[in-house]
Amino acid sequence: GIYAKVDATSAYIADWTVGQWYYNGVMYADEREFRAALDDPDFVRTPPNIDGSWTDTEDFGDYPDRDLPPPVSVQPYGPRYKLDRKENFVSWFGFEFYLTTAQATGISLFDIRFKGERVIYELGLQEAMAHYAGDDPMQGGLEFMDSFFGMGKSEYTHGYMFELVPGYDCPAYADYLDTEWHQAYKTHKMPNSVCIFEYTADYLLSRHTAQYSVTASRNTFLTVRSVSTVGNYDYTIEYVFYMDGTLEVKVRASGFIFAAFYTANNTKSEDEYGHRIHDALSSSIHDHVLNWKVDLDVAGPTNDMVRLAIEPMTKTYEWDQPEQPKRNTMHLVEYPVTEETGLDWPSNSGEFYIVYNSDEKNAWGERKGYRITSGTGMGSTPHLTILNSTTLGDSARWAEHDLWVLKQKDTEPRSADPLDYFSPYDPLVDFTKMADHESLEHGAPDTEYDGDLVVYFNLGAHHVPHSGDVPNTLMHTSSSSVMFIPHNFADRDPSRQSVQGVRLQLQGKKSGGFAGEWFVGDESKSLQQEPNGDLLRARSEGKGNGETTARYFGATYEKGVKVPLEALEPDMSGYVSHIDAVAGVNFTGFGRGEAFGG
């Protein structure tokens, strides 16, 4: 818990000086004053923060409740997506896209199409920032801009994109891709650092129980996933594709928290910044804000963004009765986004942020669009709490709102640059010069805007670490996501043509729909035909005094399969890291025994 002020502004080491010293809430002018205080018999020493088994991330003990392995997912018949490894091209149930990686930021996706129409031209991480607060000289001014360390390469720079652990980071049946980066005239390869797989969730995509039938559709989705370890944190980043055309961008964080010394000094304010989590360790509050770029081209490049608000109102209708002449209700009000601006997620989720193509409409005359919304993580995605950060300067102004709507410009390809870390008050990419309130009204006088917009959105968390973050932060409590959901993009739910499911026909004649009838007759008819011509396999099963006929849409499993051990517990003998050394980041710093928070 000793901190020293070092003046290292000179290019010559001989000119470096050590000035003030800080210990246990007291600032000392110089080394002499600090040494004199140490000799004082009343000097209060803080307890040491000693590493030990309490920081171990695993417990190999025998416990009765884990003497059987957990359930795992298997894929008996191979993948249903198509993967061109040479072109890094993927297609799956109407989705098509290309993927690539960058040294600084990892995976990006390009030319994302659904059912033949482009939805997104570019989607990729721009920066990952963590900003701390505390009452010591380190925590009080600590921030990281992780693209500087490299989230898409693998070498000893504290920034890594490691080989994924099969069966753990991704299902054993996933396809694993290698990534490459170039440095010092050499091409380097990291094997198995990206995975692609289909997964069937433990909850349905849709279901309905009607008077005479039950219909259930499985929720199977496609995931592209990678893991970037930057110092103490591991970020699992994934792109999830759903059968209705929805795309989700998600991040989960784990690893060791960067903590502070706990001094138990009543004159200090350390309890303002975290909780005591061990003998001499305190957590440090911090914000994670990860910025993504999405260049939306919804059914083409000419788009508009609107805020579709759900607002209360009082209105009199013609059918209202004299005893209740006015009705309290709600309605939709559309507010066009007419200039470059930052937006926050609305209170009570009372607005929809929708990107429309006004020139392209569905069969019902509605504009084709995609809605942008906070997704399936821990509540709404956050932005930076600190106002006008004196540490960040102008290097991360994109973190001040949840999302930004800007005019697309080839001269503004990204929101951040790794070198911004070194020059926060004069960054190489100054986001304030990009978000400068230019007009977003295409066709308006005195504007060159052609309708091609770009959105920058943030994921992350307000992290208040507690005892449950020891030894590692848990992913299910530190995840966030943003979803892009079709909004009148199709004429009806397109997943009906892709999902696999079942309809259980109960006793009776009517189907689960709200129109038409379905006659349940001779059970020897193994094939039934729906009014739209689709053939459904039928299987009858006795149930009580009646009979339930199961009719399936999409392929079903017709016989059992033998599962090899590799599909359940992959062989780890070939796992490699291709790293000469890995920083031993833990609660006591970079390597055991060093005295600062880890």
- Of 146, 234, 297, 420, which one is the catalytic site residue? 146
- For residue 594, being part of any structural domain is answered with no
The pLDDT of 424-438, averaged and rounded, is: 97
Indicate the pLDDT class of residue 444, thresholds 50, 70 and 90: confident
Residue 548 in this model has a pLDDT that exceeds 80 = no
Claim to verify: residue 174 and residue 320 sit in the same structural domain:
yes
- For residue 424, being part of any structural domain is answered with yes
Claim to verify: residue 348 and residue 472 sit in the same structural domain:
yes
Q: Residue 341: which CATH number?
A: 2.70.98.20
Claim to verify: residue 452 and residue 379 sit in the same structural domain:
yes
* Cα distance between residue 426 and residue 409, in whole Å: 21
How far from the centroid of its chain's Cα atoms is residue 188's Cα?
27
Taking only the tens place, the pLDDT of each residue in 554-564 is: 999 999 999 99
* Cα distance between residue 421 and residue 147, in whole Å: 9
Claim to verify: residue 417 and residue 518 sit in the same structural domain:
no
Cβ density class 351-383: b for 16+ within 10 Å, e for less = bbbbbbbeebebeeeebbbbbbbbbebbebbbb
- For residue 593, being part of any structural domain is answered with no
Is 370 a known active-site residue? no
| 270 vs 340 pLDDT, higher one | 340
Q: How many domains does the chain have?
A: 3
Claim to verify: residue 30 and residue 151 sit in the same structural domain:
no
Claim to verify: residue 322 and residue 278 sit in the same structural domain:
yes
Indicate the pLDDT class of residue 395, thresholds 50, 70 and 90: very high
For 561: left if phi > 0, alpha if psi spans -120 to 50, otherwise beta; the answer is beta
- For residue 586, being part of any structural domain is answered with no
Taking only the tens place, the pLDDT of each residue in 246-301 is: 999 999 999 999 999 888 777 667 789 999 999 999 999 999 999 999 999 999 99
* Cα distance between residue 293 and residue 303, in whole Å: 16
Its domain, for residue 50, covers: 2-66
Claim to verify: residue 39 and residue 107 sit in the same structural domain:
no
- For residue 583, being part of any structural domain is answered with no
Claim to verify: residue 120 and residue 45 sit in the same structural domain:
no
* Cα distance between residue 505 and residue 523, in whole Å: 12
Claim to verify: residue 523 and residue 377 sit in the same structural domain:
no
Indicate the pLDDT class of residue 314, thresholds 50, 70 and 90: very high
Least confident of 338-352, 492-506, 545-559: 545-559
Claim to verify: residue 99 and residue 54 sit in the same structural domain:
no
The pLDDT of 355-372, averaged and rounded, is: 97
* Cα distance between residue 441 and residue 446, in whole Å: 10
* pLDDT (0 to 100) of residue 509: 55
Claim to verify: residue 131 and residue 183 sit in the same structural domain:
yes
Taking only the tens place, the pLDDT of each residue in 484-494 is: 999 999 999 99
- For residue 562, being part of any structural domain is answered with no
Contacts of 129 (CB under 8 A, 6+ apart): 143, 144, 145, 146, 287, 288, 289, 290, 291, 384, 392, 396, 399
Indicate the pLDDT class of residue 182, thresholds 50, 70 and 90: confident
The radius of gyration computed from the CA coordinates of the chain, to the nearest angstrom, equals 29
pTM, two decimal places: 0.90
Is 402 a known active-site residue? no
Claim to verify: residue 477 and residue 518 sit in the same structural domain:
no
* pLDDT (0 to 100) of residue 399: 98
- Of 28, 173, 233, 353, which one is the catalytic site residue? 233
* pLDDT (0 to 100) of residue 461: 94
